[in-house]
Amino acid sequence: MGSLVGGDMEMAVQKLAEAGLIGYAQRRTGTSVPDTLTEVQNGIDDLLDLAADNLGPEQAIDLSQGVSLIGYSRGGLLALKIAELKTTKTQEVTIDKVIIMAAAPGKLGEAGHWVEGGATSLRDYTTMDEYLKESALADIDENTSEFFLLAANNDQPPDNPNNNLVDLVSTVHERLTNRTGTPVESTLKIFDDWDYGPPHDPSGHTLFESQADGGQALQRQTGFYWLDVIRFLEGEEVTLSTLLNESPAAMGDANLDGVIDVGDLGIVGSNYNMVGMEFTDGDFNEDRSVNITDLGILGAHWSVSSKTRIPFTTSVDTLVSVPEPQTFMMILAAITCYSKRRYPHPFR
């Protein structure tokens, strides 16, 4: 808040756009919860006011499914409240998907820290306790809104000495799914410990920060929370794995064994021309399909070992171990064979 920014808003919006979604993030200047809540509501108004000429001639905002929210730390706290209010400062709005990442409790009482299961005294009372009252949760529309709550396992004492945010998101999930009357659909995922933050702040709370501040890269790969974020927004089930990887796998390493070889070629071949794919299916450029572009990526990174892993931003000009032309032709031929065998019959 104020001069502080939690997470990498610019990168998140960019990654949402790459997934075919319209993302909008606005820096908030307020420091109190009421101030920042108002700014979030105004920001949603700004999003809804975007005209087609702001987005491009072939794009438009489809509000038939409502607006989805992603909130980290205090942003997660505010996302819950917006889902309860279902209004901006000027209009009612349908809230669709709500993603709450390591929500902060917000300070109200003398201590203002989250205790296990929520406050039992006024001294421990927090803003989240206020938002989790039955009267507040009753305002969430279970017919339109769905929640995804996530945190790193070490976002609790002793790594986070002030708050047990694993218990906080777990409590939010429990209150939603056991709401009096009609439950609200919610998915809870507690990832493994995140130990890659800065030495002075080893808490798992840094998982959702920008990479520069010790957070994880926003990659749609197994072992990255961002994969589950996109899957949830697209109406798919989140993955079962709770593993957290520090750095992305090398481009082309579909089976994540650290080497780009015939095993990865087989994966690309078996899924060639298929849609709805992920990185481990051979979709290396994150366009949800396996095609000639992914084959080219695999060829350009052929035989890159885990010791020379390359980030997604590495340009082709700097790559090493590119296959010889005749090798690449063999790859193309193999893919052609796979494709012919797959259609119309399944590849075996």
Do 196 and 110 lie in one domain? The reply is yes
**How far is it, in rounded angstroms, from Cα 66 to Cα 196?**
36
**Pair 155, 205: CB distance under 8 Å:** yes
Kindly indicate the confidence band of residue 266, based on its pLDDT and cuts at 50, 70 and 90. very high
Residues 212 and 335 in one domain: no
Residue 55 structure tokens? 């987005």
pLDDT at 14: 92
- By C-alpha distance, which of 3, 47, 45, 57 is closest to 25? 47
**Assigned domain for 194 exists:** yes
SS (H, E, C) 122-186: HHHCEHHHHHCCHHHHCCCCCCCCEEEEEEECCCCCCCCCCCCHHHHHHHHHHHHHCCCCCCCCE
Tokens linked to 111:
């201590």
Are 333 and 196 members of one domain?
A: no
Count of structural domains within the chain: 2
Q: Which of 30, 85, 22 is nearest to 58 (CA)?
A: 22
- Do 64 and 174 share a domain, yes or no? yes
205/268 same-domain check: no
Please name the residue that has the structure tokens 């193999």. 334
Is pTM beyond 0.75 here? Answer: yes
Residue 251 belongs to some domain of the structure: no
Residue 242 within a domain: no
d(CA 82, CA 79): 5
- Whether 109 is in a domain gets the answer yes
Phi and psi at residue 276, in whole multiples of 5°? 75, 30
Identify the pLDDT of residue 315: 35
Answer yes or no: are the C-beta atoms of 106 and 95 closer than 8 Å.
Answer: no
Report yes or no on 106 lying in a domain: yes
Closest by alpha carbon to 224, among 232, 213, 216? 216
**107-121, 137-151, 172-186, 280-294: range with lowest mean pLDDT:** 107-121
Q: Quick one: pLDDT at residue 294?
A: 93
Q: Do 40 and 140 belong together in one domain?
A: yes
Residue 195 shares a structural domain with residue 316:
no
CA distance 169 to 1: 21
From CA 271, how far away is CA 339, in angstroms rounded? 9
Domain identity same for 60 and 125: yes
Residue 292: give the domain boundaries. 262-342
Nearest to 46 by CA among 28, 30, 71, 32: 28
Please tell me whether residues 325 and 226 are part of one structural domain.
no
| 247 part of a folded domain | no
The pLDDT value recorded for residue 110 is 59
Strand partners for 101:
72, 150
pLDDT in tens, 26-62: 877 777 888 889 999 988 888 887 755 566 655 556 6
pLDDT of residue 330: 47
Q: What's the pLDDT at 169? A: 98
Regarding whether 65 and 180 lie in a shared domain, the answer is yes
Q: Alpha-carbon Rg of the chain, whole angstroms?
A: 22
Distance CA 2, CA 249 (A): 36
Domain boundary among 213, 233, 253: 233
E strand residue ranges, 265-325: none
- Of 128, 21, 14, the C-alpha closest to 67 is 21
Q: Are 15 and 158 found together in one domain?
A: yes
Contact between residue 46 and residue 26 where contact means Cβ atoms under 8 Å apart: yes
Q: What is the mean pLDDT of the chain?
A: 82
Phi, psi angle pair for 156, to nearest 5°: -160, 165
Query: Has residue 3 been placed in a domain?
Result: no
How far apart CA 282 and CA 250 sit, in angstroms, is 12
Q: Which of 36, 9, 6 is nearest to 24 (CA)?
A: 9
Q: Using one digit for the tens of pLDDT, what is the confidence trace for 76-88?
A: 999 999 999 998 8
Which residue, chain included where needed, has tokens 């994966």? 267
Among 185, 216, 233, the domain boundary falls at 233
315 bridge partner residues? none
